[in-house]
Amino acid sequence: MKSVKAFAPATVANVSCGFDILGFAIEGMGDWVRLEEKDSPGLEVVSITGDEGKLPKEVEKNTCSVAIQAMLDHLNVEIGMAIHLEKGLPLGSGMGSSAASAAAALVAANEFLGNPFEKKELLPFAIAAEKAACGAGHADNVAPSLMGGFVLIRDYHPLDVIKLHVPKGLYCTLLHPHFELKTADSRSVLRDSIPLKHSTIQSGNVAGLVAGLYEEDFDLISRSLRDVIAEPYRSILIPGFNEVREAVKAKGALGMGISGSGPTLFCLSKGEEKAQAIADAAEEVYQSIGLGVDVFFSAINTRGGYIIE
């Protein structure tokens, strides 16, 4: 029986100054999707593990089946596939959980069908799945989860996605505190209009961040990792935000920001040793304020989702 298994990584969207336009992928954390040939045509979500029973198995609601169905519709193909999803990522954490499921499903299905698509061409199907899962068809998680690296979503109409250069030695530490922050709440605190001055500051920083990535200038990356648009409002919703930032900065973090819409925080750093020290320091702060936390660090994933079986 034909069977394919793929992995797709966790991702950090927004990246401080890159609000709604930047995302990057992490090594070693993510979701797995296994597809099996099925006798009768149509998709079926057979098993989901690691979600505490929270994710829907209905084909028209599950992010994996929605993504694959969008691909099959595009190809005008009818085929039978049984879908097995293993969640490695916590739900609603701001680590691109639904995006990783969709990306893994699409990488697996593409292989299953003999790779009719380049990875970048899978993006519209993943965006359709994000729309089903989150209500909005954002690409800043699915694009890096599929393609890897640091990804810029320059535009949606038409979709224009650019994979940026990633300097060697760039590490990320993820801090996932044990409390729930609803994306809707995190979104609702944002203002619909902002001072022109803030827009100029944000533009300067995102331009500096992109230049810093290409120049491999870690100081410039650090100076540019500021967000004057979302963070001032969202950080208030995240316990310990300022204390954690102070602690990780003292350990050499280039910057710290909110991953996606939170509550997970991300830190960038130069080298694995600092990434570890940052994780330790942050854990201590969370302990002192009585909040459980999962910490994780890794290099930037530059290959995106991939086949493992």
Q: What angle do CA 236, 268, 28 make, to 5 degrees?
A: 105
89 versus 139: smaller Cβ distance to a copy of itself: 139
71 is in an annotated binding site: no
Please give the Cα distance from 128 to 124 (Å, whole number): 6
Of 17, 33, 81, 100, which lies in the binding site for a copy of itself, with binding defined by CB under 8 A? 17
- Was 100 annotated as part of a binding site? yes
Q: Which is nearer to a copy of itself, 135 or 204 (CB)?
A: 204
Is 97 assigned to a binding site? yes
Q: Which of 230, 224, 280, 227 is nearest to 250 (CA)?
A: 280
- Widest Cα–Cα separation across the chain: 60
Residue 42 labelled as part of a binding site: no
> How many other C-beta atoms lie within 10 A of the C-beta of residue 190?
14
DSSP codes of every residue in 31-52: EEEEEEE-SSSEEEEEEEESST
Minimum CB separation of residue 224 from a copy of itself in Å reads: 7
Label the pairing between strands 265-270 and 306-307: unpaired
Whole-angstrom distance, CA of residue 290 vs CA of residue 309: 41
Rounded Cα–Cα distance for residues 140 and 160 (Å): 12
Of the two residues 20 and 111, which places its CB atom closer to a copy of itself in the complex? Answer: 20
Please check if 269 is assigned to a binding site: no
- The least CB distance from residue 77 to a copy of itself, in Å, is 32
Beta bridge mates, 156: 159
Site string for a copy of itself, 194-213 (x = CB under 8 A): xxx-xxxxxxxxxxxxxx--
247: tokens are: 């602690």
Q: Which is nearer to a copy of itself, 69 or 205 (CB)?
A: 205
Is residue 184 within the footprint of a copy of itself (CB under 8 A)?
no
Q: Which of residues 124-163 bind a copy of itself (CB under 8 A)?
A: 152-155, 160, 162
Q: How many residues does the chain have?
A: 309
Q: Is 99 annotated as a binding residue?
A: yes
- Closest to a copy of itself by CB, 200 vs 288, is 200
Where along the sequence are the contacts to a copy of itself (CB under 8 A)? 17-22, 152-155, 160, 162, 164-165, 190-196, 198-211, 214, 220, 223-224, 229
Which residue numbers belong to the known binding site for ATP?
90-100
